[in-house]
Amino acid sequence: MTLRVESSAEYPIVREADVIDVRRRVRKLAQERGFDTFATAALTTGASELARNAWVHGGGGEARVEEVADGLRRGVRLTFRDRGPGIADIERVLAGGFSTIRSLGLGLSGTRRLVDEFEIDSSPGRGTVVVVTKWTRF
Amino acid sequence: MRGAIPILRVGPNLLTTVHVELDDNIADAFQQDVLQAIERTGAKGLVIDISSLDEVDTYVARVLADTGRMAGLMGARTVLVGMRPEVAATLVRMGYAMEGVETALDVDDGIALLAVRRSVAGAKDTA
Ligand SMILES: Nc1ncnc2c1ncn2[C@@H]1O[C@H](COP(=O)(O)OP(=O)(O)OP(=O)(O)O)[C@@H](O)[C@H]1O
Ligand SMILES: [Mg+2]
């Protein structure tokens, strides 16, 4: 089924305040889009994780926030892009529990569980792109 | 107090409601305020109310858990209260265990839990 993009907006992530700003915008859009409270919290939390990673690990980047539909379902797609150091071992990071900042290392692996579609493209020196889509249910 | 998050004394405990979104500056000030309030008051318990937080990501969860650990080092037991249903569901789905932090439904339950913990500790002391 073809994916239709119904709206698209981009936001910079260069300061910590931008992480909070992106999270707020995602929350507002999810609510407008008819997400229930659980799905809204899931998507917003994932947005917060990815935005913070782009800021902390990637040295800043940007978020694209899109309303999408595929004929049957309505959802929100988020793209986080940075030009930071990239991730050498994606498998290891996605397994969870790996962190270079002595945190829990649950941001990426946890976000993957919160969304319906999750794609990551990252390699050393090329930066990181993470694309997630969530439909209206938890 | 330096930060934006007020800390109140309620009987033998401190009560604080996190009503703003945490960032590094707010989190640092909050933790310092909590620790200084414990030193000043000799409080044995700390209730952190997060009922106004719409979401708790791994960053916020870590700040809260760290605050509890710091308070613990100063002899105050921490109870996290007011976690919303969707926040609990989201944290568990992410695989976040919130280890080392006691939780209760709301402020009243949190204060009651601290009283129970204190009386158990007191009974052990006199045994
Ligand atoms: N955008 C990014 N650019 C470079 N490295 C990244 C990026 N995102 C994640 N990483 C790497 O992957 C590791 C795991 O990321 P993840 O978000 O899962 O955990 P974390 O950020 O370390 O801690 P937290 O659990 O608090 O999010 C990071 O420690 C970092 O080394
Ligand atoms: Mg992270």
User: At a CB cut-off of 8 Å and minimum separation 6, what does B21 contact?
Assistant: A20, A23, B53
Q: How confident is the model at residue A138 (pLDDT cuts 50, 70, 90)?
A: confident
Sequence spans of domains, chain B: 7-122
User: How many structural domains is chain A composed of?
Assistant: 1
CA angle A103, A36, A7 (to 5 degrees): 85
Of A19, A49, A114, nearest to B93 by CB-CB distance is A114
The CATH code of the domain that includes A60 is 3.30.565.10
CA angle B29, A17, A106 (to 5 degrees): 80
Domain that holds residue A69: 4-135
Dihedral (Cα; B9, B12, B17, B22), 10-degree rounding: 100
Partners of residue A96 in chain B, C-beta under 8 Å: 95
User: What's this model's pTM, rounded to 2 decimal places?
Assistant: 0.95
Q: What is the pLDDT of residue B123?
A: 82
CB contact under 8 A, A110 and B95: yes
Which A residues, 53 through 92, put their C-beta within 8 Å of a C-beta on chain B?
none
Q: What is the pLDDT of residue B1?
A: 67
Partners of residue B28 in chain A, C-beta under 8 Å: none
Structure tokens that stand for A22 in this block? 């992106």
> Is the confidence metric ipTM above 0.85 for this complex?
yes
What is the topology classification, in CATH, of domain B7-122?
Transcription Regulator spoIIAA (3.30.750)
Structure tokens that stand for A91 in this block? 């498998």
- The H-assigned helical ranges of chain B are 24-41, 58-73, 85-94, 107-126
Does A52 reach chain B within 8 Å, measured CB to CB? yes
Structure tokens that stand for A130 in this block? 């993470």
Which tens digits make up the pLDDT trace of A13-25? Answer: 999 999 999 999 9
Which tens digits make up the pLDDT trace of B32-81? Answer: 999 999 999 999 999 999 999 999 999 999 999 999 999 999 999 999 99
